[in-house]
Structure 1
């Protein structure tokens, strides 16, 4: 195992059995992968594909049926490794009667962090996840998105080297999702290794360096996001202010070389980018709004035509 390999699985397999010990569900089948230091690694797949099972096997919460998993070059059964790991489960199991500060102090004491250091970390983490205005409210009053934020802060209280995040943006609105993704990038810049699991394609595409696609417990694809998303047999040409005559000439060149022109169109943005741009512009220009004009039916006079006709004698 190389020094820069933080996680390695070899033939990792998990079979859930019924009361009588008979195989019931094969949640994971012969998983082989490596996660390197300082990267954001994504476990991608639909519900039931084995993502959460993989997380629990890495943490030592489950025992493999076959194969093995190593973290920091140590077996996952070595509980000492957990002091170097932060974990955000799919559902945060937090004490609802505590507030945000009390929650983080509680988990900080479990890691035997001194009171002075806890106070500094708690304040920094609450500010980092954007809960300053709600830090004195009990968690039972939190929305699901706010619970994900305090859950993420709890996962970072021990300043971990490896961070495992199961559906980290679940329950967050687009603005909150963008903030959490930026926070994950910041953690990578600090040299931390992050493993994400999820099924939201846009989130994984934006922040992951490499992804593993799981389906029905099997590894279907593994590699860099840029490599997996590049369509190798299609060449895209972008131009600006190109006259029609030049475009016609390009079509002729493509046909002469035996190629096929698939499309010439305008680039598009994403719904997330559009939403965030509108929100940011609204913050810069409060009170400004756009009024949608009612569509006019074919053959019917438009409002301008009606106004023009009414002004005639």
Structure 2
């Protein structure tokens, strides 16, 4: 299996900006410390951890949104993504910000242009995805009328619009009701069946256990362990990720 993502000995510290804290000797907060792992092509790889553990920091370093202080990162075998590379990547941030006065269809067309999707194909692609996510009847509505869960669906729609080869999802189930969660899981598994590599952060352990191939446990910026979920569940009928996670975080 070829690696789509490879990170080696990556460390990141958020510098302290408060001058009074600096005077007291506070240098900053650790984002991640000496983290290494690889993600294979077509794999669903998840990072789990407590709030502030370093999940989003790791994801942003991989995407190039934050430059780490140390370490090496390769995506698609490249140390730095440029131009056309990003047309193969989908990204749902932890918190999405959209102009409230904008109509859903106009927003999706904007993302379609960013992905360089041909205009002749764009409307059909948008309708197909919005229909799948139950948003087709709202495509001409302004986003100010959307609930939190609906906006989360919008974020997922834009992230998969370009049929990405590599999809990053930061807390994809946030704000979704049970039916919507099941729908998103179905979409993720469908993308995997087509060869998409999926990297997602979450704190919902049940979702990890049901769809991830492997999971990295991160605590206080450090990589605790990478687990092969499918292998463990085959070997241990009573394996519970929740109990295992609590134990590992408690030990670290």
Task: Specify the alignment match of 1:120 in structure 2.
Answer: 124
Distance 2:81 2:43 in 1: 24
2:11 to 10, 13, 22: 13
1:180-209 per-position Cα deviation (integer Å, ceiling 9, x unaligned): 101100010011000110101111111111
Give the C-alpha shift of residue 75 in structure 1.
1.1
Out of 132, 144, 149, the residue aligned to residue 145 of structure 1 is 149
Match of 1:255 in 2: none
Shift of 1:227: 3.8
**TM-score, structure 2 length as denominator?**
0.86
Q: 1:204 aligns with which of 201, 204, 208?
A: 208
Q: Within 2, Cα distance between the matches of 1:31 and 1:78?
A: 24
Unmatched segments (≥5 aa) in structure 1: 237-313
Q: Which runs of 4+ in 1 moved over 6 A?
A: none
**Alpha-carbon distance between aligned partners in 1 of 2:13 and 2:171, rounded to the nearest angstrom:** 23
- SS of the counterpart of 2:134? coil
Aligned residues: 232
Structure with a larger share of its residues in strand: 2
Deviation string 1:122-152 (CA, Å, 9 cap, x unpaired) is: 1111112111222221111111111111111
Rg comparison, structure with higher value: 1
Aligned to 1:163: 167
CA distance in 1, matches of 2:112, 2:67: 27
* Unaligned runs of at least 5 residues, structure 2: 239-252
Query: Structure 1 residue 80: deviation in Å?
Result: 4.3
From 220, 223, 244, the equivalent of 2:224 is 220
Q: TM-score, normalised by structure 1?
A: 0.70
Which moves more between the two structures, 103-112 or 26-35? 103-112
Contact 1:58–1:76, Cα closer than 8 Å, also in 2: no
RMSD: 1.9
- Cα shift at 1:23: 3.1
- Partners of 2:55 and 2:142 in 1: how far apart? 31
Asked whether 1:83 is paired with 2:87, we answer yes
Conservation of the 8 A alpha-carbon contact between 2:7 and 2:72: yes
Q: Which residue pairs with 1:176 in the alignment?
A: 180
